Amino acid sequence: MGYRTLLRDHRGLLSICFLAMFTSSLGQSFFIGLFQAPISERLGFTPGQFGSAYALVTLIAGFAVLRLGPSLDWVPPRRFALIVMAALVTGVVLLTLTPWWWLGLLGLGLVRFCGQGMMTHLGNTLAGREFVAMRGRALGLASMGIMLGETLLPPVIATLLIVLGWRELWWLFVLVLAGCWLPLLLRGPWPPAPGQRPARGQRPSGPRPFRDPRFWRLLPLLMTLPITMTGLFIYQAAMTRDLGSTLTVYALALTGMGLAKLPGALLGGRWVDRLGPVRLARLYLLPYALALLVAIAFGGHFGVWALMVGGGLAMGSQESIATSLLVRIWGAEHLGTVRATLSAAMVFATGLAPALLGIALDLGAHFTLILAGMLAFLAFGWWLAQDLLRQQANEHTG
């Protein structure tokens, strides 16, 4: 069964997953970064103060996802989506209308928590849990919601800012998204929750990933792309300078990265269903590893393009592979808990990585050396996960 059959038979559920991923754009760094200057002015922050506040609310959002994300294993998904959407709208209202900086900061935190955190969690968990034979393809299609946001929203925002203020633009997007969610909330094919709410005072049943050695052996492999690509995005000026390229080439290469995500998602989803997530987990970082080698060896414009395209191919396929692998190891009925733990770990790590890279640059490290460190981290994560992946492959064949 291919993508056409999947879309024909499960259009409603896939629409929910896709829309959740697209809605997460409001809380993604690429979207908020487009409004950094007016938001800073609105809150009365300098750029440095905004950066510190942004890191703080991001870390708090990570803890909140870790605490509240597992509830998707027992809260009905329709109710979960309604609560998250209501909280997201509340965050936008506080961010754009409140005269007090601390309430505006609370609004920014709610946007980050509900957008990047819980909407992404909802879309990935539903796609990974409700599809079995075509799980990889479903996850690949759902992840295209984020790709659409990254590709479509920046030029649309740049155009609309000519005639609208930044606050009116946020309200417009919220109204459009609410209009898309309303029919799905009223008539969508929402599945039931797989588990029951734990009794008051009782610890939820199921896995506790932070206490499971398997989780720690897998985590560096799955965090390689978020950590290293965050560093490339934030320190793009230093990267292009040290590699002998330009920011103009980098901007064009970002478009190449967006285009590369599409075949990464579609082919990755298809291959997960055919070959299994264990085999793909051993291979999917190969394009990015080769890109790092090219950038280290040759630099220049070609090196920047290699990093963006190689990273895009791997990023496009990661979600299908990662979520399918979590289901293989811990089961679909506990996917909300395990995915929430993974999401929180990635938030923490991507919050700390820019600080570590900034220290390295302050100490005079050439960006080629930083790229070599990224390649070493990739190799370490791959090596650490091999025993676990081998065990999973043996259990499946056995």
How would you write 158-207 as a 3-class SS string? HHHCCCCCHHHHHHHHHHHHHHHHHHHHHHCCCCCCCCCCCCCCCCCCCC
Cβ(91)–Cβ(24) below 8 Å: no
User: Residues of the chain with pLDDT > 90: what percent?
Assistant: 39
220-241, pLDDT tens digit by residue?
999 999 888 888 887 888 889 9
Average pLDDT over residues 113-119: 89
Q: How far apart are CA 363 and CA 361, in angstroms?
A: 5
Residues 6+ apart with CB under 8 A from 278: 325, 328, 389, 392, 393, 396
Q: Does 1 have pLDDT greater than 60?
A: no
CATH class of residue range 1-194: mainly alpha
Among 97, 95, 124, smallest CA distance to 111 is for 95
Cβ(317)–Cβ(270) below 8 Å: no
Q: How many Cβ atoms are within 10 Å of 258's Cβ, its own excluded?
A: 19
Q: Does 87 have pLDDT greater than 90?
A: yes
Residues 6+ apart with CB under 8 A from 1: 133, 134
354, two tokens: 């820019």
Common-topology check for domains 1-194 and 207-398: yes
pLDDT band, residue 334 (cuts 50/70/90): confident
164 or 181: whose pLDDT is higher? 181
244-255, pLDDT tens digit by residue?
998 888 888 888
Cβ(196)–Cβ(292) below 8 Å: no
Q: How far apart are CA 87 and CA 105, in angstroms?
A: 14
Domain boundaries, the chain: 1-194, 207-398
Cβ(272)–Cβ(320) below 8 Å: yes
b/e 335-368 (16+ beta carbons within 10 angstroms → b):
bbbbbbbbbbbbbbbbbebbeebeebbeeebebb
pLDDT band, residue 397 (cuts 50/70/90): low
- CATH 3.40.50.300 is held by the domain 207-398: no
